[in-house]
Amino acid sequence: LTNLGFGNYPVCMAKTQYSLSDDPKKLGRPQGFRVTVREAYVSAGAGFVVVMLGSIIAMPGLPKVPAAENIDVTDDGKIIGLF
């Protein structure tokens, strides 16, 4: 990541909300544990590196006005507002 210019990006850890580990059964702030890194990727637009731990699933964020609000069907059946 450093060679690609992302070495100074902050890291966002996607993990269980129940623990600092990736194991929801190890509640709170356990000690002496290892985490399972399933995936890591750069979110260059947001300016950070995302590290996915364990079996967590990420959900996409939406803009203030989702593009779906601009999609419509005219009276004659034509779909408008698509990209």
**Domains of the chain, each with CATH number or no CATH:** 1-56 (3.10.410.10)
Percentages of the chain per state (helix, strand, coil), in multiples of 5: 5, 30, 65
Residue 12 has a pLDDT of: 92
Tens of pLDDT, residues 27-52: 999 999 999 899 999 999 889 999 99
Residue 65 has a pLDDT of: 87
Which of 29, 42, 28, 37 has the alpha carbon at shortest distance from 56?
A: 37
pLDDT higher than threshold 80 for residue 25: yes
Could you tell me if 22 and 31 are in contact, meaning their C-beta atoms sit under 8 angstroms apart?
Answer: no
Tens of pLDDT, residues 56-78: 888 887 788 888 899 999 999 99
Residue 58 has a pLDDT of: 82
